[in-house]
């Protein structure tokens, strides 16, 4: 029988992409009813997820070799514009829907080039799933397609088309431009964060070699000339002087490893790298060990960051532990009495980027935070295991450094376990006696209990007297606690102050940590409003971030905001938490030249300096101002009224919006390398609020 002639149009590289490559599964209404099922949340993360969905479609074109340039623009009125020079979404009539494939992609859930045909071999998102979800959650959306010599547009609102797809002119270009404005009915707080957008897209640029990505912040752009974005393909072609950045990386994952480790001291000269396809799974891994005690594993599946890990991470960790144990045993580098490496031993100081690409990909959850495809585990384990074994054999100096690093971690793990067991065993023998200086609360309900970590015995004494004994516990901390950024548990638990805090929390620490045993659901850091207080606060935040991360993620850490001034007008007493608030409370009628200042008490040593006191004469009144320099200056009543009373106090909740950035900042500020910290201080000196 004669073969039927293929009459489909082809792209420049001979690959057809038309309406037959778009498959349809169901409609759009469920997205607006339950947006969280599709973008995770309608909060700030979900808002930014809209950008990722559209960007992923353009990136998938680049992964397929059809796109080299992507542009993301933050426009006025909460609009986002994403343009790519890919093949352009098909605009011909879809056989099943009887309308343009562009309309099908934009208005139908589960319609895209990944469900059927040969549109994509590998993709991160499901082309059309992302576009249709974003469209459904936008009050305004426009798709502009340049394809086969024509220029086509269609506009939508809340997922519904405003008109049919229209050809508005000719074009010599190929590509797609999506512009959308999130719907305020869905997103109550629409505010895109520049740093979040740049950080995410930078990461993506590392993952796709030779892809240029540009980001432009045009939110403050005053379009006086009445320019229409229909008149230009790339916004950058308008040559406007706007904040922008762009990325282009030849080195891929190796470049990304260098970026993550630029503030670290490497113990491994050669960065390990492998890229190989096995059983339909493309495995790409780069890693390097540094002189640190924490690890960074950054996993991706079809270029989607899988923050919760998954099968590819499991395969990698298993192969890493097995390979290093085998090499160590083969070369007799460890005593039999030391046993073998555990997974934690070989991870210490490791920075690794794991990227897998699969034709049929399965995630656990709609937001794709965890890979579920089982074939990835075997492929990663085999490819990485074989390549890393060869790397160790071919680079004996690097291998020796890595093995010695892991042996040190093994010994430290055993020492830390002994120290931790000793602390916990001692507590058990004493009936889990709480620290003597802890003034515990009466309530046994963690949900309503609060623990104040107070700087100094003086402030601790006032806090103990002024607190609500039923729900508020006080733990005074003497001096500055140990900087735990590079300290293991054994050294950390040797610190009396930290040991007291660990026992007070009740969660234990390390591999026996249990959030369910947390004794307080509010940990409130209360330090003085000076440089020493800020340092103590930073040391405590470092401790919680490195060893009690789950407590931070649960939202249990707060920072108290004590007032800076006590202002007395006659019998009326007010408190000001900033200089601006003080000025407002004093009033415009104040004659500033009449200020009388009481000199500071001349003290030495660690004692708190007395606050400044001022008397300000006005036309109608005399105002007495006291400047607090420390919590210890407040009597119990003042401390309760300003800092501890839930009805009047101001607390700042500690959140980690960007764990990667937080990790980097802690490394810079609290690590042992001086040059990065010096550079950071010099770059940010003008932002510091210094009380001289």
Distant-in-sequence, close-in-space partners of 115: CB < 8 Å, separation ≥ 6: 22, 23, 25, 126
Is the same domain home to 240 and 360?
no
Domain contains 1: no
Is the same domain home to 557 and 486?
yes
Catalytic residue (one of 144, 217, 528, 610): 528
Is the same domain home to 159 and 68?
yes
Condensed to tens digits (0 to 9), the pLDDT of residues 496-544 reads: 888 889 889 998 887 788 999 999 999 999 988 777 888 888 889 989 9
pLDDT of 624 higher than 90: no
Catalytic residue (one of 308, 440, 530, 615): 530
Is the same domain home to 299 and 442?
no
Is the same domain home to 206 and 265?
no
pLDDT of 87 higher than 90: yes
pLDDT (average), residues 667-678 = 63
- In the prediction, which pLDDT does 47 show? 94
The partner residues of 453 in beta bridges, in order of sequence, read 475, 525
Instruction: Judge whether 384 and 285 are in contact, CB under 8 Å.
Output: yes
pLDDT of 155 higher than 50: yes
Annotated catalytic residue 455:
yes
Domain contains 416: no
Helix (H) or strand (E) holding 351: strand 350-358
Catalytic residue (one of 69, 84, 183, 455): 455
Integer angstrom CA distances of residue 178 from 73, 131, 133, 142: 10, 9, 13, 6
> Which of 144, 180, 173, 175 has the alpha carbon at shortest distance from 159?
180
Domain contains 421: no
- In the prediction, which pLDDT does 183 show? 95
pLDDT of 593 higher than 50: no
- In the prediction, which pLDDT does 673 show? 63
Domain contains 428: no
- Give the distance between the most distant pair of CA atoms in the chain: 107
C-alpha 609/C-alpha 629 separation (Å) is 7
Higher pLDDT, 621 or 272: 272
C-alpha 133/C-alpha 54 separation (Å) is 10
- In the prediction, which pLDDT does 20 show? 73
Is the same domain home to 499 and 618?
no
Q: Confidence band (pLDDT; 50, 70, 90) for 337? A: low
Choose the final residue of a domain: 221, 247, 273.
247
Instruction: Judge whether 93 and 18 are in contact, CB under 8 Å.
Output: no
C-alpha 524/C-alpha 517 separation (Å) is 18
pLDDT of 232 higher than 90: no
pLDDT of 615 higher than 70: no
* CATH of residue 261: 3.30.230.10
> Which of 274, 240, 255 has the alpha carbon at shortest distance from 204?
255
pLDDT of 121 higher than 60: no
Choose the final residue of a domain: 212, 247, 282.
247
- In the prediction, which pLDDT does 23 show? 60
CA dihedral for 663, 669, 675, 681, sign (positive or negative): positive
Higher pLDDT, 348 or 613: 348
pLDDT (average), residues 229-244 = 86
pLDDT of 453 higher than 50: yes
pLDDT (average), residues 88-107 = 89
The partner residues of 560 in beta bridges, in order of sequence, read 651
Higher pLDDT, 27 or 541: 541
CA dihedral for 184, 188, 191, 192, sign (positive or negative): negative
Q: Confidence band (pLDDT; 50, 70, 90) for 24? A: low
- In the prediction, which pLDDT does 610 show? 38
Classify 476 in phi/psi space as left (phi over 0), alpha (psi -120 to 50) or beta.
Answer: beta
C-alpha 567/C-alpha 471 separation (Å) is 29
Instruction: Judge whether 42 and 188 are in contact, CB under 8 Å.
Output: yes
- In the prediction, which pLDDT does 367 show? 59
Domain contains 393: yes
Q: Confidence band (pLDDT; 50, 70, 90) for 495? A: confident
Instruction: Judge whether 458 and 494 are in contact, CB under 8 Å.
Output: no
Q: Confidence band (pLDDT; 50, 70, 90) for 128? A: very low
Is the same domain home to 55 and 194?
yes
Instruction: Judge whether 211 and 255 are in contact, CB under 8 Å.
Output: no
Domain contains 23: yes
Integer angstrom CA distances of residue 150 from 57, 67, 147, 153, 342: 21, 18, 5, 10, 60
pLDDT of 9 higher than 50: no
pLDDT of 595 higher than 70: no
Choose the final residue of a domain: 231, 247, 263.
247
CA 544 from centre of chain? 16
Catalytic residue (one of 275, 532, 613, 615): 532
- In the prediction, which pLDDT does 117 show? 47
- In the prediction, which pLDDT does 366 show? 61
- In the prediction, which pLDDT does 436 show? 79
Annotated catalytic residue 148:
no
Annotated catalytic residue 572:
no
C-alpha 659/C-alpha 663 separation (Å) is 6
pLDDT of 439 higher than 80: yes
- In the prediction, which pLDDT does 450 show? 96
Instruction: Judge whether 623 and 586 are in contact, CB under 8 Å.
Output: yes
Q: Give the full edge-to-edge strand order of the sheet including 651-653.
A: 472-477, 450-455, 522-526, 557-560, 651-653
What does pLDDT average to over the chain?
82
% the chain with pLDDT above 70: 81
- In the prediction, which pLDDT does 18 show? 76
* CATH of residue 505: 3.40.50.670
Is the same domain home to 576 and 494?
no
Domain contains 268: yes
Annotated catalytic residue 84:
no
- In the prediction, which pLDDT does 112 show? 57
Condensed to tens digits (0 to 9), the pLDDT of residues 340-395 reads: 899 989 999 999 999 999 888 888 866 578 899 999 999 999 999 999 999 999 99
Is the same domain home to 539 and 586?
no
- In the prediction, which pLDDT does 664 show? 61
Is the same domain home to 243 and 257?
no
Q: What share of the chain is helix, strand, coil (3-state, %, to 5)?
A: 40, 20, 40
pTM over 0.75: no
The phi, psi pair for 24, rounded to 5°, reads -120, 135
- In the prediction, which pLDDT does 214 show? 96
Q: Confidence band (pLDDT; 50, 70, 90) for 616? A: low
Is the same domain home to 440 and 506?
yes
* CATH of residue 237: 3.30.565.10
| Three-state SS annotation for 204-240 | HHHHCCCCEEEEEECCCCCCCCCCCHHHCCCHHHHCC
pLDDT of 115 higher than 70: no
pLDDT (average), residues 443-458 = 92
Higher pLDDT, 417 or 454: 454
Domain that holds residue 483: 434-561+653-687
Integer angstrom CA distances of residue 243 from 74, 198, 215, 417, 482: 10, 12, 9, 51, 41
Higher pLDDT, 127 or 171: 171
Number of structural domains found in the chain: 4
| 186-195, 548-557, 585-594, 660-669: least confidently modelled range | 585-594
Higher pLDDT, 440 or 110: 440
Is the same domain home to 229 and 352?
no
Cα angle 21, 25, 26; round to 5: 135
pLDDT of 3 higher than 70: no
pLDDT of 419 higher than 60: yes
Higher pLDDT, 631 or 231: 631
Domain contains 427: no
pLDDT of 617 higher than 90: no
Most confident of 134-148, 248-262, 449-463: 134-148
């Amino acid at each position: 029988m004669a073969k039927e002639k293929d009459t489909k149009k082809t792209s420049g590289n001979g690959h057809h992409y038309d309406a037959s490559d778009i498959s349809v599964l169901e409609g759009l209404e469920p997205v607006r009813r339950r947006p969280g099922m599709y973008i995770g949340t309608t909060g700030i993360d979900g808002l930014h997820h809209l950008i990722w969905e559209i960007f992923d479609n353009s990136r998938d074109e680049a992964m397929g070799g059809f796109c080299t340039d992507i542009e993301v623009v933050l426009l006025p009125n909460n609009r986002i514009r994403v343009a790519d020079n890919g093949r352009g979404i098909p605009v011909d009539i879809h056989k099943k829907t009887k309308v343009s494939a562009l309309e099908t992609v934009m208005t139908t859930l589960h319609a895209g080039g990944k469900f059927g045909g040969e549109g994509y071999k590998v993709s991160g998102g499901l082309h059309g799933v992302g576009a249709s979800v974003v469209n459904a959650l936008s009050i305004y959306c426009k798709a502009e397609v340049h394809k086969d010599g024509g220029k086509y547009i269609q506009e939508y609102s809340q997922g519904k088309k405003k008109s049919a797809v229209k050809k508005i002119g000719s074009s010599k270009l190929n590509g797609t431009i999506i512009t959308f404005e999130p719907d305020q009915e869905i997103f109550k707080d629409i505010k895109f964060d520049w740093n979040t957008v740049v950080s995410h897209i930078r990461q993506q640029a590392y993952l796709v070699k030779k892809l240029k990505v540009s980001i432009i912040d045009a939110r403050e752009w005053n379009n006086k000339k009445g320019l229409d974005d229909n008149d230009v393909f790339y916004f950058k072609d308008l040559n406007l002087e706007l904040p922008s950045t762009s990325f282009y990386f030849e080195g891929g994952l190796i470049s990304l490893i260098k970026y993550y480790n630029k503030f670290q001291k490497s113990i491994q000269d050669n960065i390990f790298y492998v890229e190989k396809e096995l059983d339909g799974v493309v495995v790409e891994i780069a890693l390097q060990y540094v002189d640190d005690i924490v690890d960074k594993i950054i996993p991706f599946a079809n270029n989607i960051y899988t923050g919760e890990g998954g099968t590819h991470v499991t395969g990698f960790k298993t192969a890493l532990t097995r390979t290093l144990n085998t090499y160590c045993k083969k070369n007799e580098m460890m005593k039999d009495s030391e046993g073998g490496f555990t997974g934690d031993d070989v991870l210490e100081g490791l920075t690794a980027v794991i990227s897998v690409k699969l034709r049929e990909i399965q995630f656990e959850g709609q937001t794709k935070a965890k890979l579920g495809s089982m074939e990835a585990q075997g492929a990663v384990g085999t490819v990485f295991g074989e390549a890393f074994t060869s790397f160790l054999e071919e680079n004996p100096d690097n291998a020796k450094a890595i093995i010695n690093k892991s042996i040190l971690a093994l010994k430290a793990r055993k020492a830390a376990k002994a120290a931790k067991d000793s602390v916990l065993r001692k507590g058990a023998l004493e009936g889990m006696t709480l620290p003597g200086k802890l003034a515990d609360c009466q309530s046994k309900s963690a949900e309503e209990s609060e623990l104040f970590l107070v700087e100094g015995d003086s402030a601790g004494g006032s806090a103990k007297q002024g607190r609500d004994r039923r729900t508020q516990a006080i733990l005074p901390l003497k001096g500055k606690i140990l900087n735990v950024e590079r300290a293991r548990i054994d050294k950390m638990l040797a610190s009396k102050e930290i040991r007291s805090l660990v026992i007070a929390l009740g969660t234990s620490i390390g591999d026996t940590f249990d959030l369910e045993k947390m004794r307080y659901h509010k940990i409130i850091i209360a330090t003085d409003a000076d440089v020493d207080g800020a340092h103590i606060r930073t040391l405590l935040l470092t401790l919680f971030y490195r060893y009690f991360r789950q407590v931070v993620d649960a939202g249990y850490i707060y920072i108290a905001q004590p007032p800076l001034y006590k202002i007395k007008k006659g019998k009326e007493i007010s408190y000001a938490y900033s200089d601006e608030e003080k000025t407002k409370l004093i009033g415009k009628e104040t004659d500033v030249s009449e200020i009388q200042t009481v000199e500071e008490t001349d003290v030495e040593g660690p004692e708190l300096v007395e606050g400044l006191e001022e008397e300000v004469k006005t036309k109608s009144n005399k105002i007495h101002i006291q400047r607090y320099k420390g919590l210890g200056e407040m009597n119990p009543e003042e401390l309760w009224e300003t800092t501890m009373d839930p009805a009047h106090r101001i607390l700042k909740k500690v959140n980690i919006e960007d764990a990667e950035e937080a990790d980097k900042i802690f490394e810079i500020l609290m690590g042992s390398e001086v040059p990065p910290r010096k550079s950071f201080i010099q770059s940010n000196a003008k932002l510091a609020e210094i009380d001289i």
